[in-house]
A and B are shown apart, each in its own frame.
Chain A
Amino acid sequence: MIHVTEETKSGWRVLSVRGRADADAADVLEAALRAAIDQHPKVAADFSALDYVSSAGLRAVIQGARAAEARQVEFAVCSLSPNVRKVFDMSGLHHILRIHGELPC
C-alpha cells in the first residue's frame, strides 16, 4: 500500500510518499511522479515516510527520472531511510539521481 500527497513549496512540487513501494504499488508511484513531472518544472520526491522499496519501486523512480530528463524538469529524491538508501545504493541509483538528505526547498 502506498499513499502520495502533494504540495508546492518554494517553487518545488513536493510528493510525499508513504508506505511500501513494492511490485503491487509501483504503478501508483510511477503515475504520481509522471503526472507531477508533466506539470511542474521542479519535482521532489520526499521518501522520509517510505518504509520499503523493491526493484519495482526503483523502476518507478527510474522512469520518473527519465521523464524528468526528457522534459528538462529538475527531479530530486529526498530523505531516504537507511534501509531504503541501501537499496538505492546497491542498485547504483546514487550515480544517476539527485539524492538529497533533506528536501531542497
Chain B
Amino acid sequence: MKDTPGVWHNQAIPYRAEFSLNGDLSELERLTAVVAQFCTGCALDDAAEFELNLVLEELFVNSLRHGGCEGMRDCAQVRMRCAANGVEVEYRDRGRPFDPTSAPNVNIHAPLAERSDGGMGIHLVRGIMRELRYEREGEWNRVTMLRPVATNRKG
C-alpha cells in the first residue's frame, strides 16, 4: 500500500496496518496519522500510541540519517498487527545494513558534558519494545518486535 495506508477490521480479522514511507522527514506526519488510526482501531490507550509512534519515528529517522534512505521512494515499510499479547511490528528499510539489537548501549548516567548525541533513539526502541529481532534480507533491513499492551487497552 502506498498513498492510502490501510487499516481495517472485522471480528474475524485482527487489526492490521501496512504502509510504505518515502525517504523524507515530512513523512513523519503521515506516520503519526496512521499510528493514531491503528491505535483507535485496536482500542489502545495514549501511552501505546505514543510509544509506537516513538519507536517507528526513531527507526525511520535512523534510516534517513544513517542508512542512506534520504530521498529514496518507498524506502521503508511498516506492518503492525494487534495480537492478544500486544502489537506486533515489522519495520523494513532499504538502507545500509544496521542491526539495532547489537548497537552499543548508551550511558544514560553520563553527565551533561559527556552526553553523546547518538544512540538515544535506538536505546528508546530497545527500552520500549520486546522480542526485537533483526535480519538482513537482500537489500532490506528487517526488524520485528512486540509492544506489550495487556495493561494498555482502553475501557
Using a CB–CB distance below 8 Å, which chain A residues touch chain B? Answer: 20, 22-24, 52, 54-56, 58-59, 62, 65-66, 69, 82-83, 86-87, 90-92, 95-96
Contacts and interface: CB of A to CB of B under 8 A. Distances in A.
B25 interface: yes
Contact of B109 (A55, A65, A92): A92
A52 B50 contact: yes
The 10 closest A-B pairs by CB, nearest first: A92-B108, A55-B121, A55-B120, A83-B50, A23-B61, A96-B112, A54-B57, A24-B25, A90-B127, A24-B28
Contacts, number: 63
B108 A54 contact: no
A83 B46 contact: yes
Majority secondary structure, A binding face:
helix
Contacts of A20: 32
A58 B118 CA distance: 11
B115 interface: yes
B132 interface: no
A52 B28 CA distance: 13
B108 A95 contact: yes
